[in-house]
Amino acid sequence: MKILIQIGIIFGLYWVSQCIESVLPVPFPASVISLLLLLALLILRVVKVEHVQEKADFLLNNLGFFFVPVSVSIMNYVGVIRENAAAFLTVCVVSTVLTFAVTAAVVHLARRLLDGGEEDGK
């Protein structure tokens, strides 16, 4: 019964997020909406971590299987990828550098806030 409740919570949140997505005036992925809903419910303590822990761990442990269909379908677009290889490579490099920079800035800010505004080395 515990497993059914956990699956029900996860799929229920996704169903609600699909309903929200259908009424939004801009395209926004239902999966992201459901993650935000789950985060809000966890923060508000409406849902406890124990309510979804087992199924979340299962899904995370098997995450690689969810990428198999996407990886196989990419083979249909090898020609497009070859034609735009420079653009893809540029986007990958720029987004990686930006991700590293933003992550470093957030970690630096978080450390300063947690240290109470003390300077490094004091």
pLDDT digits (tens, 9 = 90+) for 84-119: 999 999 999 999 999 999 999 999 999 999 887 665
- At residue 39, the pLDDT reads 93
Q: What is the DSSP string of 20-81?
A: HHHH-SS---HHHHHHHHHHHHHHTTSS-HHHHHHHHHHHHHTHHHHTHHHHHHHGGGHHHH
- Give pLDDT tens digits for 43-58: 999 999 998 999 889 9
Contacts of 52 (CB under 8 A, 6+ apart): 6, 9, 10, 38
- At residue 116, the pLDDT reads 78
- Give pLDDT tens digits for 54-84: 988 998 999 988 888 888 888 899 999 999 9
